[in-house]
Amino acid sequence: MLSRLVKHAFVREMTLEAVADRQCGFVEVARSGGIAGTVIESADGLAFSDALDRRYPDTGNILFLSFYTRLFRGNFLARNLGRIFNCHPSILPAFKGMHGFEDTLASSSTFMGCTLHTVDAGIDGGTSVVQAAIPIDRQLPVAENRHKVFLAQYYSTMQFLRWVADGRLILKADPGPSISGARYAASMFSPNLDPDLFALLGEANLLA
Mean pLDDT (10-residue bins), the chain, 208 residues: 91 94 90 93 96 93 93 96 96 97 98 97 95 98 98 98 96 90 97 97 95
- Residues labelled as active-site residues: 88
134 domain residue, yes or no: yes
Q: State whether 157 and 107 are in the same domain.
A: yes
- pLDDT confidence of residue 175: 84
Q: State whether 115 and 19 are in the same domain.
A: no
Q: State whether 10 and 94 are in the same domain.
A: no
CA atoms within 13 A of residue 186's CA, in its CB half-sphere = 0
- pLDDT confidence of residue 183: 97
Alpha helix positions (H), the chain: 2-5, 9-14, 25-32, 45-55, 74-79, 100-106, 142-165, 197-201
Q: Is 127 left (phi over 0), alpha (psi -120 to 50) or beta?
A: beta
Q: State whether 159 and 186 are in the same domain.
A: yes
List C-alpha distances in Å: 81 to 6, 52, 123, 126.
Answer: 25, 14, 14, 9
Q: State whether 91 and 192 are in the same domain.
A: yes
- pLDDT confidence of residue 59: 87
Q: State whether 141 and 188 are in the same domain.
A: yes
Distance CA 97, CA 103 (A): 9
Q: State whether 92 and 1 are in the same domain.
A: no
Closest CA to 161 of 125, 202, 193, 120: 193
List C-alpha distances in Å: 178 to 56, 106, 116, 132.
Answer: 25, 32, 12, 16
- Domain count for the chain, please give it: 2
Sequence-distant (≥ 6) Cβ neighbours of residue 184 within 8 angstroms: 190, 191, 192
Radius of gyration over every alpha carbon of the chain, rounded to an integer in angstroms: 17
Distance CA 8, CA 158 (A): 9
Q: How many CB atoms lie within 10 A of CB 17?
A: 13
Q: State whether 23 and 91 are in the same domain.
A: no
Residue 183: give the domain boundaries: 81-208
